[in-house]
Structure formats: structure tokens, C-alpha cells
Amino acid sequence: VALARALAETARAAGGRGDARLAALVAALPVPLMGVGATGLVTLVNPAMAALIGAVMPGTSVYAALARESLAPLLTAAGGGMRRAGVHHVDGRLLDLTAVQLPAPAATAGWLIFADPPAAGMPVLPAAELPMALALHDLAPDLPPACDATPLDRLPVLSLDLETTGLEVTTDRMVSAGAVCMVGGRLFLADVLDMLVDPGGPVPAAATRIHGIDRAMLQGAPPPVVAVERLTALAAGRVVVGHNIGFDLAVLRAEAARAGRAVPDWLEPGGPALDTLRLAARLDPDRPELDLEAIAHRYGIAVSGRHTALGDALLTGRVFAAMIPRLAEIGVHDLGAARHFADGAGAVAAAQRRAGW
């Protein structure tokens, strides 16, 4: 637990870069040790753990090495203390692992996972530079609510994307929601929402071919209104950013109304949302390719996880981060100026209105 506290403090103090002395200590430990962020991303792995479970690198999913259904209950039950349980490796081995939840303030989230030291005579890798990405434990800081005067490089943001049964906002339903919290151009990968929802009806095959979600995958998932509630909590004080964000907001309004709930203020038309589609149309008026993937390639951003809600929310967030310095170059420095600038994308806005959002 003391080591967990030291690692958490190091992550906060060093902005995720870690401390060389602590890294050397952890690398030299014969105890297999791994850090895991709140979303299952590996944040550090020492040589002993790499020898036990195989090559996993910071930023990759722990579930690539350890079976999700076996590990998830251990993490869920850690509850701020320490818990030991058998966890299956993806190769079938049963490993006796212990999870310690980081005893840190609300700004940090995740666990340390460790195993017993190897038996005498079992080779242990020599100490080396410790791969780490401790910033993956960090949660977005509490900031004053966004207003038109908030500078874009300090803007609290919720990058949002939905997957749906179709493109008709009044009748089609949400099947998945993804969101990531940002401040300016920094994404906080421990502060995300990634959930399936069950609309209670069919998922057309045409929609499944795009996002890969079929009816069977939604059995037991919560109804869409639960996603609306969770997104409302995340959106408090933040500006919602999305690609064609008017569509997502219209779907969420329809889901709230369908459930008999009052439409939250952040979903009301005319709210302080920013549309990366409109921003791209203004920033590059001579470039007709306005789909999210084309814009990402234009900015040199690697594309992965397309047509998953969280994958597209992350990609949109990275695109928005790349836009901030470009907007600054033309004198667009704060939220109010960015909203006014995006509103100038007349042709795009007209097309969106014709589509119903």
C-alpha cells in the first residue's frame, strides 16, 4: 500500500513522467508488479511481471494478458483495500494475484496488481528502465464551469460520441455511448464513459455492419436513459465536443423525453457545444473531406477504434486538441470566439438542419 501511495504521488507530482529513483526501485523488485488505470490500461509493468504474464506495454489493455471476466471482479472488489484472488491468463494459466486500489485523492484512479515473488531458481529479468505511463491514472481536475471567456487551452471538455440504430433522431435509438474528459488539448484516459445500452428493440443489420453491435450484445445492458444520466453528470461544467455533435445531442434529447425525463440543460439546442465538423469546414474551406477519419489523417492523428462510441470520442478529442493551436493562429482563443467561428460554417449548418439536428 505504501508503494501504491508513492506511485500515485509520483504520478501527480511529475505529470505522469515518473521519478527515476522510484522507477529503478520498482524495476529491481523481484515481486511481479503492474499498474492498471481505471479503464484497464496498463500504466507500468516491471520486469518480473513481464516475465510472468508476457509483454504488455503502458497504454495497452491489461485484458490482452489477463481474462476480463476473471480479473474484473478482483478490481471491482478492491474497494480501497487489498484483495487476493485467482485470475486466469489468456493462455489458460491460473495466477494468484493481489490488487491494491490506489489510495489517492479523487484526481487519481486505478490499481496496483502484484504476484508472489518467483520461486528460487526462477530467472528474473535484470532491472532496466521502467516503462511507465502514470498519467493514465489521472482524472480531470475540477475547474470553474466553462463560459464564453474560457480560453480554449484551459477549456473543460467532454468529447462525446454515440452509436445508434440509424440516423433518424426522432425514431432511432442509442445502443452505445462513449465520452472522455479533457482540459484544453489534454485527454484524461482514466476519465471516460464506455457503455452499451439496450433500447428494447431491434438493431438493424445495416447498423450492425457499421458499429458491430447486435441485439444479443445488448442483453442485460441498462436502458438509454441511464447513459443520459451518466453523461449529464460528466458534462457538468464542461463544453460538449463532437463530430456532427448536433446529431448526438438530438438523440439524447429524444431518449430523455422517451423516458419521461426533463431534458437536461446541456442538451438544449443552442447550448455551448462545439462541432469539430463545423470547425474543420471553417479551418480548411478548400478541403471537402469532412468525415472524422479524413480530418484525423489531415492532422497526422493515428486512427483506431472507429465506429465504436469510445473510439470515436477519443479520436474526436484528439482532433479537437489538434485544432486548438490552429484556431489560436487565426485569433480564436476562447470558447465564445470558437462558437462564433463554427457558426460561420453556413453550408454545413444548413445541411445539419435539413437532416433534423
d(Cα 140, Cα 107) in Å, to the nearest integer? Answer: 7
Which H or E run includes 193? strand 186-196
On the question of pLDDT at 235 being above 80, the answer is yes
Separation CA 125–CA 241 (nearest Å)? 45
Closest CA to 128 of 54, 53, 33, 24: 24
pLDDT per position as a tens digit, 285-296: 999 899 999 999
**Edge-to-edge strand list for the sheet holding 274-275:** 186-196, 174-183, 156-164, 239-242, 274-275
Between 54-68, 128-142, 241-255, 265-279, the lowest mean confidence (pLDDT) is in: 128-142
- Exposure letters 225-248 (e unless 16+ CB within 10 A, then b): bbbbebbbebbeebbbbbbbbbbb
Alpha-helical regions (H) of 86-132? none
As a whole number of angstroms, the distance between CA 245 and CA 202 comes to 24
pLDDT of residue 340: 96
pLDDT tier at 54 (50, 70, 90 boundaries)? confident
For the chain, give the mean pLDDT: 87
Contact 38, 109 (CB under 8 A): yes
What is the model's pLDDT at position 236? 95
Q: Give 107 or 217, the one with higher predicted confidence.
A: 217
Q: 245-258 and 224-235 helices cross at what angle (nearest 10)?
A: 120
Q: Is residue 101 within a helix (H) or strand (E), and if so which, with residue range?
A: strand 94-101
Give the mean model confidence (pLDDT) for residues 308-313: 92
pLDDT for res 16: 47
Q: How confident is the model at residue 136, as a pLDDT?
A: 82
Can you tell me the distance from the alpha carbon of 156 to that of 154, in angstroms, rounded to the nearest whole number?
6
Q: What is the pTM of this model?
A: 0.78
The model's confidence at residue 77, banded by pLDDT at 50, 70 and 90, is low
In the chain the domains, ranked by start, together with CATH numbers, are 2-137 (3.30.450.20), 152-355 (3.30.420.10)
7-28 mean pLDDT: 61
Cβ–Cβ under 8 Å, residues 138 and 190 = yes
Mean pLDDT of 59-74: 87
